[in-house]
Structure 1
Amino acid sequence: MASPLVIAVQPRARLGDQEDDFGLKDISRVGSAFIKVSASVEAVEFIKSNSSLLDTYVDVTTIAPADAVEVLNAGAAKIFLTPKQMITLAAENHIPSSRLVAYVASDEDTTELRNWLTDAPEFENIGVCATANAARLFEKFGFPRDGGQVYRLFGRDVTEAAVIEEVTHGVVAIVSSEQLTIVPNTNGKVSVANVLSSRAVPDANTGLIATLVVDERGVSLGFVWSSKESLLEALKTGTGVYQSRKRGLWFKGQTSGDVQQLLGVGFDCDADCMIFRVKQLGRGFCHLGTNTCFGRYQGLSSLQKTLQSRKESAPAGSYTARLFNDPKLVEAKIMEEAEELCQATTKDEIAAEAADLIYFALTRCIAADVSLEDIERNLDMKHLKVTRRKGDAKPRWAEKVGLSNTETAPKPSPAPEKPAAAKSDRIEMKRIYTASTPVSVIKDALQRPSQKSNDAIVGLVKPIINDVRTNGDAAVLKYTHKFEKATSLTSPVLKAPFPEHLMQLSPDTIKAIDVSFENIKKFHSAQKDDKPLVVETMPGVVCSRFSRPIERVGLYIPGGTAVLPSTALMLGVPAMVAGCKKIVLASPPRSDGSISPEIVYAAHKCGAESIVLAGGAQAVAAMAYGTESISKVDKILGPGNQFVTAAKMMVSNDTSAGVSIDMPAGPSEVLVIADKKANPAFVASDLLSQAEHGVDSQVILIAVDLDEKELAAIENELHQQANALPRVDIVRGSIEHSVSFVVKNVEEALNLSNEYAPEHLILQLENAEDVVPLVENAGSVFIGQWTPESVGDYSAGVNHSLRVNLGSFVKHITSSNLSAEGLRNVSGAVMQLAAVEGLDAHKRAVSIRMDVINKA
């Protein structure tokens, strides 16, 4: 059995929180967590946030059955519910009975549940929970006392004696964390050490507790003895402490340095052996220097230890060092070995190829600090799902082996008249000849890639925004730990002045950023309003408009698949030129908690106040509402994924936030118009420069009167250049919904382009400047063969955030200044219109002044 303790906590508790003196880390060592929720989202969030640390039991008595299934799918170890709920849920879903616990608050509950179990013997492994005298339920239901099937939920009046009484009879006790302590006799609280030791069955001769020590994966390290005193010290220190029959308390590693981090305490099936799960440091557990007292690690455990050691100290130039230093080599080897495993036929071949694949896959994991324990925990979490996906292969791989995902469908589709050709691996765009294609087909081809349902996105984003608004820095850090895996990060913000060591860049990179900075600054400085606009609309009526910088701006710099210091410049430089007093950047950190030095340097150049080390909706919410350490801003600008866009729109619609946003951005796109004089390599490179942004990007080619040979030249370049790119898989996804139009003349090309209104328009045409007057709709235009879109993205000076310019960082204020003559001239019109609209106070504000003027 596992631990006889389950600890009740608040569902909003976070890793490392200390509720009194007993927090989640303590819980993970001595038992499981128990939470009571009013909505499934609370349970799902808690489970996912702490899945690597805790098994979680959830009281779902106040939520719907469908939501209870969602909680199980999220990874809840068990759910607690009423007998009626359980009977209904069990009848409608295929749920393992071992994950269901029914409250039995009365004899009627007990009778109802026993009668149902008589007719449903397949649910014999369910659990039952009472609030008093739970031990009697063993006889009533015929459950074995070592099965972990009987629970008692204690209230605030819990006593240590009552808990021990139940536990010694095989009951699992559920006690609030507020009522527990590690150190005995503290303010009347229940001592965890006393409860655990009371469950243990000691050796009849020595009075000591047999203890099996295992590692993170459950591999046996050795056999030792424990006592009540050693158990207390182990829990207090969080280390391996045992009882030596000769020397008393044995603090493992105190002299050798081979210490242990205590991960958990449990028992075997009949509690006559305690189990210590530890993380062993140093040489190993055994005094002989081996990993275990039963010899050295073998198999996967041995491989993991070797790889972890090589990662720290692989000889320079060795193959293992190459693997850790060259992610692309590991990626290629994984794909190579996977293919060879699929092709293997004999038992020996399959074993050999599987071993090779596992070696390279584990190397990839160790390089990213992912252990076998992490992988196995992930597998366990998947096993906890009670609803399963169909499990078809993705089309790209299914087609590669000739597998159809519809082969098992109930109604097979009619056989085609002739066999369909297998899909080619060639990267190419769909081609449409406009002269022979219906207008409706052309319009369909001009549609952007479909986006995920906004309702689904909002449902994911809203709880994050609310959490950050309520819990500030702690919530931002929680989501950064969760989504960016930057678990070492302790502060969500980096304040200026930024340390020099965070801006260590090559001279070439510094020069490139400096050149781009100056060009962007020059172009945006030219957009300044030199002086206020002043117009006398009629004698004595002077109207003016003047600009002021937005005081505080938040600039979102995406992370994800690419580092984007260029976006930091495109947003930061105009904010600086406009004179914004406070510039806050936000960008997701790397897994080690750092931010790319290019972005830090760009922030420094632009005079940023700080960098928020977060991405996604949590970064947007932090800037919109402010936190303990993150400044609130007045406007948020910058591109991002669908979650960022949804978050920006939500905070801008919240009047209490008092924040505005720029125009929401969509997937990146480019349209290239090319004629016979265009260089095929240039055309292909311009298309790919946008296709590599993401699989939802779209690229369009409009070929002006090109023949088959000329079209093929562009298509060949596209395929060859794409396959030479490290982001080829992203490119392939983008090209799948991209298209080439073949038109007769430039006029037709511009009509199509204006209808599509591309984000980026590239004119690879002879005399391209002459065509510019025909451009009606486009974000930014790149003219001629020597103007790739890349220069706009980085260094020419125009803003690659096409919805952003200097005006995005200023606010315009209007004023009116009337003399007595002016009021006399305009008063008639004002009073008449006020009367028409029935606004008498408006009219009186003028007439009362006119009375004074007329009497003068």
Structure 2
Amino acid sequence: MAAAPLIPAYDFVAPPATGLSIQSISHLSWIFLSVTAENYDQSLEFIPQNFSRFQFLVDVSTLGSDATQIKQLLNVGASKVITSLKQLESLRDPKLQIEDDRLILAIPRGDNYTREEFENAIRDTSLGVFVPDVADVGSVTGWLEEYGTDNRPPVYISFKSKPVLEEVIDLVKVNASVIIDSRELTADSKKEDGLLNVGTIYANALKSDRTDGLFTTLVVDEQGVALGLVYSSKESISESLKTGSGVYQSRKRGLWYKGATSGATQELVRIDTDCDGDCLRFTVRQKGKGFCHLETRTCFGSSTGIGALQATLQSRFASAPEGSYTARLFNDPKLLRAKIMEEAEELCDATSKDDVAWEAADLIYFALTKCVSAGVSIADIEKNLDAKSLKVVRRKGDAKDKWANGQKPQEVAAAAPPPPAPSKPIEVPVQKETESDRIQMTRYSSAALSSNELEAILKRPSQKSSETIMGIVNPIIKAVREEGDKALLGYTQKFDRCPDLKSTVLKAPYPESLMTLTPEVKAAIDLSYENILKFHAAQKEAKPLVVETMPGVQCSRFARPIERVGLYIPGGTAVLPSTALMLGVPAVVAGCKTIVFASPPRPDGSITPEIVYIAHKVGAEAIVLAGGAQAVAALAYGTQSVPKVDKILGPGNQFVTAAKMVVSNDTGATVSIDMPAGPSEVLVIADKTANPAFVASDLLSQAEHGIDSQVVLLAVDLSDDELQAIDEELHKQAMALPRVDIVRGAIAHSVTVVVDTIDKAFEVSNLYAPEHLILQIADAKACVEKVQNAGSVFIGAWTPESVGDYSAGVNHSLPTYGYAKQYSGVNLATYVKHITSSELTADGLRSLGTAVMDLAAVEGLDAHRMAVKIRLDHMAKSS
């Protein structure tokens, strides 16, 4: 909120009929108001009504010491308030939470200021200083020159008598902000002779190091998007303020009235300067085809992002093509309302960075359609955001009951809109700081639930509809399949926000500089590598299976590695080198010839050194710097630089899972996958022997993965006090975690189910089929035989799930979302295929041949029958 060199003072109770109009004042950004006990109520109406036009400098130094009144002025939109020393002391109470940069100290009014008083006032560099009713302008100017203009707080000067132009110019040249009654100012000296010209004052506050004396001028729209770079002169500034339009200085043609010949005119919104006073910024409303002579909106090309969307929607609103979807939205408010509610729910349910960005874009599209239909622009929205940012009255911020109680948007879509806000702001008491809402799982008793109710309680968090996901995934897969590297790079730059990325593939051998690790991390990786290697090597088949099914008929089965595997390593809310280990080490043990990693890059286009180091250890041929459906497609089909693979393994978000399913069903890809996978989950069975702190820590170790994760506690015959002890530990431990917000989201749909017996606990667990099953019960090892469905089991108090995630040796890539009923976790067999063989002697074929021919005849496959008959006939002739 840098102050302008000139701030007009305005009488908002009795607006003047002469001098600078309020419209012209708005071009200067700032306006000065003097608020007293008599006009306080009117100020509370004037400020919010005009917030979109001004930044308000409000003098409250004569209002009194009531901090509540001053705070309310700040709350309704005053940018800065000028206070007395006594007021300042009360406003700086930490409980009021008022930032110093919104406070200005007024030097007591009087005819004589000493240099000591002045310097004492500006010594506190966190505040600005107001010097009112200056009579001796020369002395104040001299003090400012001696004190210096750099690294000091802003100084605001008002005049005791009618200001003289030369004195005003002297002040603005030493970086003072002058406050002048609007009655004494004009934007057009020819019409109002004898008043001070605002353009002249403003221009003299600027600095230029150019030989022609021109000022560099950045022209932007109301969203701050740069339209172009031009130059201004003292004359063009005055002309622009007089006409309220974009007027600049052409270095070849003199004054340049923008759009005078092309029709691409500009309505001036405001003028301000940069911090050094050597660059102007003109904020304008661009008319016509655009700012640039090439008829684009900007000199830097066409608009993008939200600004471009607004322009398109405004165009559609004016003349939408018949049958267009946007036109339908404009003409069907009920449909538009439903879409906004739908997209809001999908955004709330989104978890990964890609999902959230995608759903937010959808919501913004429909929300902006609503705005355009109501004549609301992005600038209007931003002004309201600015107004909210100035509020200092703290509200609790709880959701309304219809949302807080868990109703879905469709259940409240017909609800009436809230009543309009009163025109006069209402003071809301500052809410006392309260403890954060407790992080606590909902508790149920299985004895009070029917089977259907129990299944409903254990339902995983809802995922996006397959139609929604496929509508996103299929075009991505198609583009990568057809365009290869070009599409892959484009999607990676977009979704992973790496605009400077030039290549999506890092080839082996990898530079040492990309594998810089601390000794501790390197040792941890090496230890985990060896344990995972040892466990998976033990799964190797010692020799082929050979069985003689009958005399002369020998059948065998032998394993061969899948030659080319693509290993997907997520990189959304957490970096997962552990997944690189879990997927890469078994591939080495199996003997896969080609190993390719794929993992989203960081914003600077690099990959985490831990993953590079593991890729080096397992001999990965390449690392694909990409995530999401685009990475899956690149692995499945291959691109100019990404090797095609035969199988894709690894967990991911809903889009990764959907993409894996799509490519595995495409005969053109000839690729398989490990398993479907959803968000991470854990189920803990705990009895009276369990340590509450251990139980809570195991639940939280999965809840921190993502807000769509779910954790379940099956409490075997625990009392209320024992359950409360776990709840207390859960909340205490969660509040100490850096990912507490993610934990809070996961716990919101997690449950505790109290069961009477161990057998009932395993019945419920097998129904749920958890990814991770933790047994914190007496004689846990003996109970493993009760496990029917689970990805991986962790037995006893000293076996947290995290040892399986990292270093014990078992694999952590496991079936989720109930797929443990059908799928195994990743193991050595995941990386091999089994080939069978048959070998018959002549006697064996004689024994088996008749049965084969009879069955072939039943099926009508005569060539099958003849293949046996010809051989049997040959034997008969030979004998």
- Where does structure 1 lack aligned partners over 5 or more consecutive residues? 1-209, 226-240, 247-265, 277-289, 301-367, 369-374, 414-421
Residue 549 of structure 1, CA deviation:
0.7
Structure 1, residues 161-206: CA drift from partner, whole Å, max 9, x if none? xxxxxxxxxxxxxxxxxxxxxxxxxxxxxxxxxxxxxxxxxxxxxx
CA distance in 1 between counterparts of 2:262 and 2:513 reads 56
**Residue among 832, 842, 845 paired with 2:867:** 845
Q: 1:478 to 1:447 in 2, by over 3 A?
A: same
Aligned-partner Cα distance in 2 for 1:380–1:829: 68
- 8 Å CA contact 1:213–1:275 kept in 2: the answer is no
Residue by residue over 1:471-508, the C-alpha shift from the partner in whole angstroms, topping out at 9 and shown as x without a partner, is 11111110011011111111110000111000101111
Change (3 A) 1:776 1:403: closer
Amino acid at match of 1:817: E
Q: Does residue 828 of structure 1 match 2:850?
A: yes
Question: Residue 446 and residue 403 in structure 1: after superposition, are their counterparts in 2 closer, same or farther (change >3 A)?
Answer: closer
| Change over 3 Å in CA distance of 1:474–1:825 after alignment to 2 | same
Assess, with a 3 A threshold, how the Cα gap between structure 1 residues 579 and 379 changes in structure 2: closer, same or farther. closer
1: CA distance, partners of 2:365 / 2:462? 34
CA distance in 2 between counterparts of 1:817 and 1:843 reads 18
| Residues 297 and 566 (structure 1), Cα distance of their counterparts in 2 relative to 1, 3 Å cut | farther
- The one-letter amino acid of 1:401's match is D
Q: Supply the distance in 2 between the matched residues of 1:267 and 1:643 (Cα, whole angstroms).
A: 52
Report what 1:401 is aligned to: 398
8 Å contact 2:216–2:278 — kept in the other structure? no
**Residue 779 of structure 2 is aligned to residue 796 of structure 1:** no
Distance in 1 (alpha carbons) for counterparts of 2:276 and 2:536: 71
**In the aligned structure 2, how far is the partner of 1:410 from the partner of 1:492?**
48
In structure 1, distance between residues paired with 2:561 and 2:666: 23
Q: Secondary structure at the match of 2:784?
A: helix
Alpha-carbon distance between aligned partners in 2 of 1:752 and 1:404, rounded to the nearest angstrom: 33
- Are residue 214 (structure 1) and residue 218 (structure 2) matched? yes
Relative distance call for 1:543 and 1:593 in structure 2 (3 A) is same
- Decide whether the 8 Å contact of 1:221 with 1:293 is kept in 2: no
Q: Which residue of 1 aligns with 2:837?
A: 815
SS of 1:684 mapped into structure 2:
helix
In 1, distance between residues paired with 2:551 and 2:399? 83
Shift of 1:270: 1.3
Superposed CA deviations along residues 412-449 of structure 1, whole A, max 9, x for unmatched, are 79xxxxxxxx9981111111112233333222112222
Find the aligned partners of 1:638 and 1:380 in 2 and give their Cα distance: 33
Q: For residues 224 and 661 of structure 1, what CA distance do their matches in structure 2 show? A: 67
The residue matched to 1:766 in structure 2 has which SS? coil
Give the distance between the partners of 1:642 and 1:379, measured in 2 at CA. 22
Provide the C-alpha distance between the structure 1 equivalents of 2:449 and 2:367, rounded to a whole number of angstroms: 49
Taking a change above 3 Å as real, the CA distance of residues 822 and 411 of structure 1, as seen in their structure-2 partners, is: same
| Structure 1 residues 456-855: aligned runs within 5 Å | 456-802=468-814, 803-855=825-877
Aligned residue identity for 2:524: A
Partner AA of 1:826 in structure 2: L
**AA at the equivalent of 1:777:** N
Matched position secondary structure for 1:740: strand
In structure 2, distance between residues paired with 1:646 and 1:388: 36
Amino acid in the other structure paired with 2:231:
G
Q: How many Å apart are 1:728 and its aligned residue?
A: 1.1
Q: Residue 216 of structure 2 contacts residue 280 of structure 2 at CA under 8 Å; is this kept in 1?
A: no
Structure 2: distance between partners of 1:267 and 1:212: 17
Contact persistence 2:274–2:281 (CA under 8 A): no
Q: Distance in 2 between matches of 1:440 and 1:698?
A: 19
8 Å CA contact 1:220, 1:292 repeated in 2: no
**Separation in 2 of the partners of 1:756 and 1:480?**
36
User: Superposition pairs for residues 148-227 of structure 1, below 5 Å?
Assistant: 213-214=217-218, 217=226, 222-223=231-232
Q: CA 1:387–1:470 in structure 2 vs 1: closer, same or farther (change >3 Å)?
A: farther
Percent identity over the alignment is 61
1:812 counterpart SS class: strand
Q: Kindly state the Cα deviation for residue 729 of structure 1 after the two structures are TM-superposed.
A: 1.3
The 1:292/1:666 distance shift into structure 2, 3 A limit, reads: closer
Instruction: Give SS of 1:594's match.
Output: coil
Task: Report how far residue 750 of structure 1 moved.
Answer: 1.2
CA distance in 1, matches of 2:556, 2:662: 34
Seen in structure 2, the aligned counterparts of structure 1 residues 840 and 426 have a Cα distance that, compared at 3 Å, is: same
Is the CA contact 2:217–2:280 (under 8 Å) kept in the aligned structure 1? no
| Structure 1 residue ranges (4+ consecutive) displaced by more than 4 angstroms after TM superposition | 210-213, 218-221, 241-246, 272-276, 290-294, 296-300, 378-391, 404-413
Residue of structure 2 in register with 1:317 after alignment: none
Cα contact 1:267–1:273 (8 A) shared by 2: no
1:127 maps to which residue? Answer: none
> Does 2:260 match 1:270?
yes
**1:643-690 Cα shifts (integer Å, max 9, x gaps):** 011111111111011111111111111110111111111000000101
Give, in angstroms, the shift of residue 221 of structure 1: 6.4
Task: Give the Cα–Cα distance (whole angstroms) in 2 for the partners of residues 747 and 380 of structure 1.
Answer: 52
Q: How many residues align?
A: 515
Q: Which whole-Å CA distance do the structure 1 matches of 2:621 and 2:468 have between them?
A: 35
**TM-score of the two chains, using structure 2 as the length reference:** 0.54
Which residue type is aligned with residue 259 of structure 2?
C
**2:278 is equivalent to residue 295 of structure 1:** yes
Q: Highest CA radius of gyration, 1 or 2?
A: 2
Q: 1:780-814: per-residue Cα shift (whole Å, max 9, x none)?
A: 00000000000000000000002211111111111
User: How many Å separate the matches in 2 of 1:384 and 1:502?
Assistant: 46
Q: Deviations over 1:273-310 (max 9, x none)?
A: 9999xxxxxxxxxxxxx96996357999xxxxxxxxxx
1:522–1:736 distance in 2 versus 1, CA, 3 Å:
same
Partners of 1:269 and 1:793 in 2: how far apart?
65
Q: SS at the partner of 1:800? A: coil
Q: For the structure 1 residues 716 and 379, does the alpha-carbon distance in structure 2 shift closer, same or farther, using more than 3 Å as the test? A: closer
**Is the 8 Å Cα contact of residues 231 and 250 (structure 2) preserved in structure 1?**
no
CA distance in 1, matches of 2:719, 2:278: 73
Matches of 2:714 and 2:670 in 1, distance apart? Answer: 44
Alpha-carbon distance between aligned partners in 2 of 1:582 and 1:526, rounded to the nearest angstrom? 22
Give the CA deviation at 1:468. Answer: 0.7
- One-letter code aligned to 1:854: A
Alignment check: 8 A CA contact 1:212 1:274 kept: no
Q: Distance in 2 between matches of 1:742 and 1:550?
A: 45
C-alpha deviation, 1:775, in angstroms: 1.3
1:517 Cα offset (Å): 0.4
3-state SS of 1:595 partner? coil
- Pair 1:454–1:820, CA change in 2 (3 A): same
SS at match of 2:557: strand
TM-score (normalised: structure 1): 0.56
Conserved? CA contact 2:559–2:832, under 8 Å = yes
- 1:263 alignment partner in structure 2: none
User: In the aligned structure 2, how far is the partner of 1:786 from the partner of 1:214?
Assistant: 65
- Letter of the 1:500 partner, please give it: E
Listed as ranges, the matches of 1:61-460 within 5 Å are: 213-214=217-218, 217=226, 222-223=231-232, 268-271=258-261, 295=278, 400-401=397-398, 403-404=400-401, 425-460=437-472
- Indicate conservation of the 8 Å contact 1:399/1:423, yes or no: no
Question: What is the deviation of 1:382?
Answer: 7.6
In the aligned structure 1, how far is the partner of 2:262 from the partner of 2:860? 90
